[in-house]
Structure 1
Amino acid sequence: VTFLCLPPVSFLLLPHALALWACTRSCPSRCTCTQEKSCSVLCDRINMADLPKEFPCEASSINLDKNNLKFLSERAFGTLPSLKSLSLDHNNISFITPGAFKGLPNLVELKMAHNEYIRYLHTRTFTSLKRLVRLDLSDCNLFSMPDRIFIEQTALKELLCFQNNFRRVPGAIRGMENLTHVYLERNRIEAVAYNSLLGLTSLKYLNLQENRINVIHDEAFKDLQQLENFYLNDNLLAELPKQAFKGLSRLKMLNLGGNLLTNVSKTWFSDLVELEVLYLDRNQLCFIEEGAFENLTSLITLHLNSNNLTALPFSVFQPIYFIGRLYLFRNPWECDCSLEWLKEWMENYKLVRDIPCASPSSVAGLDLSEVVYARLNGTCVDPAELNLTTALPDNPTTENKFNILISKLLQQELKEDLVNSTESFRNGTLLDPAESQVSGGYNGFSTGRALLVLLSMYLIQAETGPH
């Protein structure tokens, strides 16, 4: 190219002008070609049914999104040695000829998401793309991929295949030691076999959420020693291998929410010393084994909401001194004395709230923070089956104890009498046992009053001591 072929420009602008002219001289009809840092070809949203015959040789990126492309022939794009990014999202591609991407030796990113008619890929579909780093095949209609389809893509780091129809983890990814991110969510995967993820020694992100996984084999994750973010939520897992996450010492986030788990084993998380966020929400948990969380020394957030938990013993939770946020709502909590420690923890650290009580009935509907635990001789007393949550005095005398017990028993008796529809009052005064016997027989002397007499004797004896 001589200077006479170019528009008059200053010498300092010549390199940019040369690049701009080179980028635009063979720009496809109806497309836009721009030169900023590099030559970009924009052919998106123009209802294109066939690929242009020619692209600028200098093109570094081509956008063909949201067109009506249906077929990619061999060497569909010619020879484009500078092309780094190619996007074919939202087309109607149904067949890709083996070798369609030949002539693109430096392609780094290939996007073909949202092509619902792609059901099959040939083993040689990606032949010659030896420098490919990122491949997006999401939301197509793929049922499987040939095991050797990525034989030349040794540099591949990110593989996006979410929202397809895979029933197993594609064997094609096995042994790909440079993969760092794999997206397989919203497929139909039913199991993770012992060899499904072999050789993925650099993997940092794995998403298997919203599949149908109900089985995970022993040591299925043993090679994922660099894994940091792991999504297994919204599957059908009712149980896990004892050493399910053994060796995942770099894991920072684990999501097991939305499964069918009924218990938490103390062996599951023993190696997760760097775990910061753990989701166990939306399961059917009713039991957490003591020691289940004791090695989670980096844990910041724990989600236990929306389960069937009624109790959370202090012995289970004791090692978690460092947690920043604890989610416990939507569980049928039994707010008896076993949860008194949790109420104190709530008040002292302000790291948890919304713990609605389901039982006992006297506190049902209250938040744990509103429950007042009574103490008798220094021992916590469970909330009675009455709507009473007022604590005893700090140093209750025998008279105080006696009066409180009388009050509770009389209220209980009144409650029973009303339920049984028996006449309990005469002129506004409660009948005494003698009158009740005269007017109503033995039934008038209620269990409550009998207990009242016994308790009176017990408290007097406790106050005066044995004679």
Structure 2
Amino acid sequence: MTVITFTVSVLCLLPQAVLARWACVRACPPSCSCTAERSCSVLCDRSGMAELPKEFPCEASAINLEKNRLKFLSERAFGTLPSLKILTLDHNNISFITPGAFKGLSNLVELKMAHNEYISYLHTRTFTGLKKLLRLDLSDCNLFSIPDRIFIEQTALKELLCFQNNFRRIPGAIRGMENLTHIYLERNKIEAVAYNSLLGLGSLKYLNLQENRINVIHDNAFQDLTRLENFYLNDNLLSDLPRSAFRGLSRLKMLNLGGNQLVNVSKTWFSDLVELEVLYLDRNQLLNIEEGTFENLTSLITLHLNSNNLTTLPFSVFQPVYFLGHLYLFRNPWECDCSLEWLKEWMENYKLVRDIPCASPSSVAGLDLSRVVFANMNGTCVDPTDLNLTTPSSELTPTTENRFNSLISKLLQQELREEMGNSTESLRNGTLLESEEGQLSAGAGGQRSQLLLCCAVVWLSLGWISLSDVLSCT
């Protein structure tokens, strides 16, 4: 009796924090480990549990039960744990959660239940009692829907993670949740975004709808998302968007529309996105970008247009965002005519764009735009398709030196043909004797000075070269 009294007296003299740590370790469940450095954490992960422990330390602030074999959560499954903030149940075999299973966890702020493939149904009262819940993770379960009123008590909820389930529509339960800031719904089977799917989400900053089956977005579907900053709509089945799809999203900084089936880009889509910094339009089927599309994107830094069907990008379309830091244009069938001369100059001046292979015209097909030479005649660009050495002499080749050498080449070829016409029978078989080759070469070399003089006179008379050009070429 004296020993017990002495122990209690000593314990009473200990600081409250020390007592809490001692109680945490002392009440630790079997097959679990408990640490109490700053707060009481109960670690029961990877313990092979098929049932919950009968008791947990009442001081517990975090309980980790992931990667066990739990199948069933009864009512008040965890008892009363007023200090519990984080509960982790990821990677179990949970198939049924009794309504009120989390009663007694009045201060829980984060509940993780991801990767429970047998959870296909949730009762309206599943989360009863969790009035302070801020983050809920239901990712990679087997949910087809959730009741509309399931979050009626979770008014403080900020982050909802429901990616990789089987939702065919955006859960109606999230409507009006004015404190939600992050919603993860990627890799579901959502087919449409209705006009009322996202109503009342005035605090939302992050919305991920990528890798769904969305093919329709209704008018004004995003009208309440006035604080949205990051929006993922990539890898869906969108072939068109409402004219004012993103109206009012003036705080948006990143918009991903890549991996859809868009053919045209309307100038009305992005008119309100004055703070947009990154825009993905890659991996679509774009043929045309309407003039004025980017005119209000004064904050744009990165633009992805790669992997589309674009053949041209007129300066009038691109001009307002000429100060871009990153522009991705590869994997498009570019027609490298004079409409892209500005782009080549921009590439050379700023060194921020590369890999723009030309698909046409045939004279430059396979070349990168950076290697295409654009000629000018009286200040007007001449398309590479017109720069053909077999065309009449009135057409210009890219440079003065090339023009000069081209005419010399043609005159030499004519002389050679005349000599070859007087040669022996071997010429008819397409071959030359070495002696004949030497004679022809010598004949051509002997007339070079006359040809150069002839060329100079012709070009000078037409005003295409100056005397200094002639002297430099000779």
Structure 2 length-normalised TM: 0.83
Instruction: Give the aligned partner of residue 5 of structure 1.
Output: 7
Alignment RMSD (CA, Å): 2.8
Instruction: Give the aligned partner of residue 39 of structure 2.
Output: 38
Q: In the alignment, is residue 213 of structure 1 matched against residue 220 of structure 2?
A: no
Deviation at 1:20, TM superposition (A): 1.5
Amino acid in the other structure paired with 1:258 = G
Amino acid in the other structure paired with 1:4 = F
Aligned residue pairs total: 417
Paired with 1:296 and 1:424, the residues of 2 have a C-alpha distance of: 67
Distance 1:40 1:387, change over 3 A: farther
Paired with 2:212 and 2:140, the residues of 1 have a C-alpha distance of: 14
Distance 1:101 1:426, change over 3 A: closer
**Farther off after superposition, 254-263 or 13-22:** 13-22
Paired with 2:92 and 2:463, the residues of 1 have a C-alpha distance of: 88
Counterpart secondary structure, 2:303: strand
Distance 1:463 1:56, change over 3 A: closer
Paired with 1:347 and 1:306, the residues of 2 have a C-alpha distance of: 22
C-alpha deviations, 1:188-228, integer Å up to 9, x for none? 00000000000000000000000000000000000000000
Paired with 1:251 and 1:244, the residues of 2 have a C-alpha distance of: 13
Instruction: Give the aligned partner of residue 345 of structure 2.
Output: 344
Paired with 1:139 and 1:98, the residues of 2 have a C-alpha distance of: 21
399, 402, 409: which one pairs with 1:392?
399
Deviation at 1:281, TM superposition (A): 0.3
Paired with 1:400 and 1:259, the residues of 2 have a C-alpha distance of: 51
Instruction: Give the aligned partner of residue 171 of structure 1.
Output: 172
Amino acid in the other structure paired with 1:168 = R
403, 406, 428: which one pairs with 2:407?
403
Matches within 5 A, 1:114-125: 114-125=115-126
Distance 1:269 1:57, change over 3 A: same
Deviation at 1:183, TM superposition (A): 0.1
Instruction: Give the aligned partner of residue 190 of structure 2.
Output: 189
Paired with 2:258 and 2:35, the residues of 1 have a C-alpha distance of: 46
Matches within 5 A, 1:280-295: 280-295=281-296
Paired with 2:359 and 2:12, the residues of 1 have a C-alpha distance of: 81
Kept in 2, the 8 Å contact 1:43–1:62? The answer is yes
Instruction: Give the aligned partner of residue 159 of structure 2.
Output: 158
Deviation at 1:264, TM superposition (A): 0.6
Deviation at 1:326, TM superposition (A): 0.3
Amino acid in the other structure paired with 1:403 = L
Distance 1:393 1:63, change over 3 A: same
Structure with greater helix percent = 2
Kept in 2, the 8 Å contact 1:138–1:161? The answer is yes
Paired with 1:405 and 1:383, the residues of 2 have a C-alpha distance of: 20
Which ranges in structure 2 are unaligned for 5 or more consecutive residues?
390-395, 415-426, 433-457, 465-474
Instruction: Give the aligned partner of residue 235 of structure 2.
Output: 234
Paired with 1:322 and 1:255, the residues of 2 have a C-alpha distance of: 20
Counterpart secondary structure, 2:207: strand
Kept in 2, the 8 Å contact 1:363–1:387? The answer is no
Deviation at 1:172, TM superposition (A): 0.3
Instruction: Give the aligned partner of residue 204 of structure 1.
Output: 205
Q: In the alignment, is residue 260 of structure 1 matched against residue 248 of structure 2?
A: no
Paired with 1:236 and 1:80, the residues of 2 have a C-alpha distance of: 47
Paired with 2:41 and 2:297, the residues of 1 have a C-alpha distance of: 49
Paired with 1:387 and 1:69, the residues of 2 have a C-alpha distance of: 76
Paired with 1:44 and 1:402, the residues of 2 have a C-alpha distance of: 79
Kept in 2, the 8 Å contact 1:361–1:385? The answer is no
Amino acid in the other structure paired with 2:157 = L
Matches within 5 A, 1:300-379: 300-379=301-380
Paired with 1:392 and 1:268, the residues of 2 have a C-alpha distance of: 43
Kept in 2, the 8 Å contact 1:42–1:64? The answer is yes
Q: In the alignment, is residue 19 of structure 1 matched against residue 26 of structure 2?
A: no
Amino acid in the other structure paired with 1:308 = N
Paired with 1:194 and 1:5, the residues of 2 have a C-alpha distance of: 67
Kept in 1, the 8 Å contact 2:387–2:397? The answer is no
C-alpha deviations, 1:354-393, integer Å up to 9, x for none? 1111111111111100111122222211113778897222
Counterpart secondary structure, 1:318: helix
Kept in 2, the 8 Å contact 1:157–1:181? The answer is yes
Amino acid in the other structure paired with 1:5 = T
Instruction: Calculate percent identity across the aligned residue pairs.
Output: 78
Amino acid in the other structure paired with 1:298 = S
